[in-house]
Structure 1
Amino acid sequence: MKVFIVGAGAMGCLYAGAFHRAGCAVTLVDVNREHLEAISANGLELETRAGTEHLPLAAVHPAEVSGTADLILLFTKTFQTDAALAGVKTIIGPETRVLTLQNGLGNDERVARHVARENVLTGVSTLPSDLVGPGRVRSHGEGGTKLYPAFSTDEGFARTVAERLTAGGLPSGLDPAIGSAIWSKAIFNAAMNPLCALTRRTPGFLGANPESRAMIRQAVAEGAATAEASGVAVDAQAILDLTEVSMSDHANHEPSMLQDLNAGRRTEVDAINGAIVEAAEQAGVATPLLQTLWQLVRLEEAKLA
């Protein structure tokens, strides 16, 4: 299987390692030249609880891609999706599948602007990963992957992808109720990511303070009410349980919004909190905390400008 990872940040590199271990031909695609050069020169340094590996992976700029992909795994920011897929259109053939494990809501429809709807896979990851330097990624924590065809019930290729990821060390499975899983992950992120970003602290800090715990409970309740009103069944207690895992097992992990603000980059808050708030407005649900967190992160982004 020829796998192109478009968006070779912390998560993209973690999944590249799994596909490589499973015997796939893996190419990392990114615009960060320093990162690409480090991987090309020394291999990807991937540190997990099992130890540190140096994986020989191809790493190229979008202008340098060639061949035809069997699978494109999309790990760019949500607001970069159109530009990213347009930038690698030469490797997209009629049978190329695109799997989005991006944060937030609406990613399947964005991808479907670039490939046939039956070739779109969508899913969620609950794995932590941090980019610690050019060519160096660390993932300390447990988790897994759920995926499924976005617009069909033909499970064949999706099952193969899940099997390869599992064989490569990242437990993965199919979930026909993937819409519920995506909403649940978005609600989790809408509660945890902004609070880490705004306090400039990791989940362990949130777990140690009653104020943040109270806001996490309220944010999850608002998100779950929005999902239910939008016709999507979610388990609020299961989402709260996942926040507990984050605050303990992933206590020192830097969530993506925190990484972005620390690096002076735009966050994905519009596709996470913003998307939930907009769905809530359509469904007539009040989400005062989620809206406040959205606006506060937007103000942090405005400071970067």
Structure 2
Amino acid sequence: MKDPHVVIAGAGAMGCLFGGLLAERGLRVTLLARRQEHVAAIRERGLRIVGEGGERHVPIGAATSVDGLPPADIVLVQCKADATRIVSANVMPLMRKGSLAVSFQNGLGNEEIMAESLGDEAVLGGLTSLGATLEGPGVVRNYASLPTVVGELRGGLSTRVKDLAALMTAHGIPTRASEEILAEKWRKLMLNVAMSATSGLTGLTIGGVAGQPELSAVARRAMDEAAAVAEACGVSLPQETRYAIFDGIVASGAARNKTSMRRDIEAGRPSEVEAIYLSVIERGRARGVPTPTLDAFAALVLGLEAASGQI
């Protein structure tokens, strides 16, 4: 793909980090964001990246609407899960034959929603262990250099997935093409179910959660329940595998980060409780798998949001 245009649909922390890293290495990137002050700051000064890799300003396109934008060869969907349907419909006019749309969102079910507007053939699955926070309009902090994965939802390695992984790797985001992206997404979900509510409800960082023995034990119990649901869905996640994932993120630079669920709660925004917890709970109920810890996490987060007037 020669000189592709990459559109980042959802220029929050992770969207800005992805877009900034890709643009820094020469790709044509446009960030789509709702907040005018955020877009204005990026247009005026470039995107400022701090943290991992050092501080720098990256020139990059930014817009609040798709109006007037050139067609997109690659759309990276980075919005919150509850905005997936409307964001997918908004970027649909940018898609053309051969365009790709990749979800790098938390949880399960985002790709199915994207396909409603963009078509099954255009949609790929993705996941990343990168961590970021927005520190102000046009300023994003990168916490660690961690792997990213892309793949066909139906499984197998396609040429377009291998090409996309190579393109992203060559432009600052080390990416692997996976033959089993759905299984990979379940593995990533292990961290989400362990850390999202524990960090979100307490205000602790990922490392802080792991450093509290009682809280760490509950987080691992949530992983065990989600793994039982995954097993019922045909995805095997042995205990040593999921606990190794837990230990790996705790040992990385991402341990200094609070989860996106905590940032949503602090900002008074609806969280991704549906994609992270309710999606697993529903799959468990449909297959007769009990999820009491996940049920409690979801109920507490929903209760906190209700008390804060978020829903």
Corresponding residue SS for 2:126:
strand
Structure 1 residues without counterparts, runs of 5 or longer = none
Question: Structure 2 residue aligned with 1:268, among 245, 259, 272?
Answer: 272
Give the distance between the partners of 1:230 and 1:299, measured in 2 at CA: 29
Q: Contact 1:118/1:152 (CA < 8 Å) preserved in 2?
A: no
Q: Contact 1:191/1:290 (CA < 8 Å) preserved in 2?
A: no
Give yes or no for the alignment of 1:284 onto 2:288. yes
Please name the residue that 2:55 is paired with: 52
Give the distance between the partners of 1:29 and 1:167, measured in 2 at CA: 23
Give the distance between the partners of 2:183 and 2:272, measured in 1 at CA: 20
- 1:184 CA displacement: 1.4
Give the distance between the partners of 2:239 and 2:150, measured in 1 at CA: 20
- 1:88 CA displacement: 2.4
Q: Write out aligned runs for 1:184-195 (5 A).
A: 184-195=187-198
Give the distance between the partners of 1:69 and 1:153, measured in 2 at CA: 25
Give the distance between the partners of 2:260 and 2:65, measured in 1 at CA: 23
TM-score, normalised relative to structure 2: 0.94
Give yes or no for the alignment of 1:103 onto 2:106. yes
The CA RMSD measured in Å over matched residues stands at: 1.5
Give the distance between the partners of 2:145 and 2:242, measured in 1 at CA: 16
Residue identity matched to 1:226? V
Corresponding residue SS for 1:184:
helix
Give the distance between the partners of 2:28 and 2:53, measured in 1 at CA: 23
Give the distance between the partners of 2:147 and 2:107, measured in 1 at CA: 17
Q: Contact 1:2/1:26 (CA < 8 Å) preserved in 2?
A: yes
- 1:219 CA displacement: 0.8
Structure 2 residues without counterparts, runs of 5 or longer = none
Please name the residue that 2:166 is paired with: 163
Corresponding residue SS for 1:51:
coil
Q: Contact 2:155/2:180 (CA < 8 Å) preserved in 1?
A: no
Which runs of 4 or more aligned residues in structure 1 lie more than 3 Å from their structure 2 counterparts after TM superposition?
Answer: 151-154
Please name the residue that 2:256 is paired with: 252
Question: Structure 1 residue aligned with 2:181, among 162, 175, 178?
Answer: 178
TM-score, normalised relative to structure 1: 0.95
Give the distance between the partners of 2:170 and 2:113, measured in 1 at CA: 29
Question: Structure 1 residue aligned with 2:82, among 79, 84, 95?
Answer: 79
Give the distance between the partners of 1:68 and 1:153, measured in 2 at CA: 28
Q: Contact 1:27/1:58 (CA < 8 Å) preserved in 2?
A: yes
Give the distance between the partners of 2:139 and 2:102, measured in 1 at CA: 24
Residue identity matched to 1:174? A
Q: Contact 1:98/1:119 (CA < 8 Å) preserved in 2?
A: yes
Q: Contact 1:49/1:140 (CA < 8 Å) preserved in 2?
A: yes
Q: Write out aligned runs for 1:224-263 (5 A).
A: 224-249=227-252, 250-263=254-267
- 1:21 CA displacement: 3.3
Percent of matched pairs sharing the same residue: 33
Q: Tell me: CA distance 1:244–1:65, structure 2 relative to 1, closer, same or farther (3 Å).
A: farther
Corresponding residue SS for 1:88:
helix
Please name the residue that 1:206 is paired with: 209
Give the distance between the partners of 1:277 and 1:191, measured in 2 at CA: 14
Corresponding residue SS for 1:113:
helix
